[in-house]
Structure 1
Amino acid sequence: MRKLKVAFSTLGCRMNQFETSAIEEKFEREGYTLTDFRDKADIYVINTCTVTNDADRTSRKTIRQAKRRNPDAVVVVTGCYAQVSPDKLAQMEEIDLVIGNSHKDAVFEIVENFINERRQDKVFIDNIFRQNEFKTFQISTFYEGSRPILKVQEGCNSFCSFCIIPFARGKVRSAKTEEVVKQISILVERGFKEIVLTGTQLSQFGYDNGEDLYSLLKDIVKIKDLYRVRLSSMGINELDDKLIDLITSEEKIAPHFHLSIQSADDKVLKDMKRDYTVKEYIEKVESIIKRRPETAIGTDIITGFPTEDEKSFENSLKNIEDIPFAYIHVFTYSERKGTTASKIGDLVPPQEKKRRTAILREISEKKSIEFRKRFLNNDLEVLIISEKDGKKVGITGNYIHIKFDSEKDINQITSVRLTEVGREREDNRGVELKKEVLV
């Protein structure tokens, strides 16, 4: 029997990217041939996003492209769009299987069963796999260059008024602390220096099993030969004094924290159901930076929320200017059916949303440059994570990406002097800078 070709397309967040990687690995291990999504394949797997209406449209466009490339291919749709709107997707004639996030870890088995039965000439018009019950969480390990990414938590128990993610990813499910520590210990023994902990809402780790992030980190930093652990996005509500004390005093924890604020206006925050005030947010950020001055604080901000009038936006701008962010991820509000905010209506005109988004992105650029300029002509310790254009790319604890010449290999630690600050990369997740290596 010939080897079937399978192609993947991933839309949306890094979590989707990691999960696609795991599915690809499973197909390849079982003898399938991986091919580019632009090529003709026997199976197309589209890992969808539904965070905005544009994401839904892009998902549908990608699905149609797959079927046009090979009308006889099996088209499989998974991800957040498949979880939230399985009935809508089931109406698309291009789709053979809809598999929600609740069963994403079984994509290979479902597709295998589908193909085997189809070979027996059975009819599959109504074979739409869309159970909604999420399974118990299992830890997953992915790799981004030389850095292992451990997904230790899934789902979110916060139902912000604008967000569809709790419906797409379910409530919090966490790995057990002992499982996480065991996995990190194995990775460290294999020579990996930096481990990244990630999840839908990492700071809610353990909400389902009586554990918590504080205790997890206390055990992780005891691991011998671990160089650094980096934390993904956390909620300000879950940062209590005990956790702040730990992340600001423990050198093995990277001084880089992504703390989403979404708006810096109290009225809008209340309408978003964020359950904190701007003052409370600022107090926690200032507490972190006072104790660990080199810390990079990143954040997410949504522009054009339905109740964000001009006064609220100007107030938010003023507060954002005063908060020492190292970078800002700016998102334009998009109404999501099923959220409480959708009942308000999409009240801010598209052009106004665009204007506000542009203003905030300029502020983000300015703040990023200001943050990195603080370290000009300083010697910085970096972990080499990749190579690009003949130069090594290293990352500091506080998330400054540095390009430089070096004979050292990837996954080694070195010292570089920051000699020039450049503009942010397009993806706004870090910075590539021109540096020179210290001898």
Structure 2
Amino acid sequence: MKAVVYINSDEVCQKCKNEQAILKARNELHCRECFLRLVRGKQRKQMSDERYKVNYKRNKNEKVLLAYSGGISSLVLLDIIANLLAEQSEAHKGLKGFDLVVINLNEYQYKSLSAKLDSILPQLWKRYSIPMNFKIISINDYLDENTLYAISLDNEFKSFAKQIKTKTTIIDLLNKCPNKSSAEDLLSIILHKLLLKAANKENCNTIIYAHSMTRIANEILALTVKGRGSMIHKSISDRTENIDGKPITIIYPLRDVLHDEIIEYSKLSHLQEYIVDSTILKSKISKNLTIKDLVANYFTNLNETGYASTASTVMKIGQKLTSPQSNTETTTVCKICGVEIFQDPQTWLRSITVNDPAPITTEEEQEYYKMYKSSSAHDISQNGSNIDLCYGCITTLNGTNEFIWPINPSIKISYENSHQNVLDEFVLTDTEE
């Protein structure tokens, strides 16, 4: 059976015992309000810490950053958080458990989104009666032209980098990736680091992502396929990360909610008109899809055939993983993604890869070999200094020749203030009624 099934009967909701049931979820019949309460309850369970509750003795509230893409999951999480804050304010004479900062990373151009947020947010903001601080960040803030390097890999999987000076944009760099999965992989690194920087700038101690249980299961399988298995333990669990010496708590409040349940929540809450999607048509040919797209299709098929619980199983297995152990006393850090390198990826790759060419048997092959040796591509080590890359980044960059990317960029967050005046008309402050 699917995760959520609409029913047409006179049966009563098994929760409230009052209203007529309209759907079946988690083997129970629910009316509209009880289903919405079910999903909202999952978020509240994940954010049950005292710092997110109203405290009359507290002089200053916790600040929470919500990563908002405009997609269905982040929209539903925004609605749930807004309802929670409204309930707190009503029950505690205007007091709230925390202050909300909504941050959007502008992917409109790169993903050809169906709408710009400034055309949607004013109407969306009218739904809520609580103050929210909304800001948009350009993904180009990750670009530091003083840290741009041409990165190369040789046949032995050694990586080299040579500093260069050039005018470019993040979108241009992503478009030069060897495939869509590589671009998607690098973009995810950019988004997470920008959000950490934004949280630090806004004095937020918590970042909340809208990943559903299905999305987290997708991440586990996708990270495994991309060679980033060492990142699973911290990429899908509630955790604390440090940015510029400041600890930031990262939470996934919808981790116990299936993607199908998020879809039904948006329908029952009349949120569909505010959803922003990519207008880029996905190929029906598997080899043209990204790794995440392929895994997403896999979970969709499982849900259609009645195996939606597989996502829960995958997530539970992923949560049991712990930090890898290093074979040496010290570990290095990947220059692109920043992850710790516990084992030398070059040694592993050389052990599973055939590096020696086939014997030269003809004069034509001999000529080609001479041309190859005389070319600049033969000795990549002359094009820069050796750098440390993790297995995942080596896999991501494999197939490129001098891929340009910022190494350890100095990130300076700037806001696209052109939209703020529009939003200010609809944002209530604590002193307004």
Question: What range is the shorter-chain TM-score in?
Answer: under 0.3
Structure with bigger RCO (C-alpha 8 Å, 6+ apart): 2
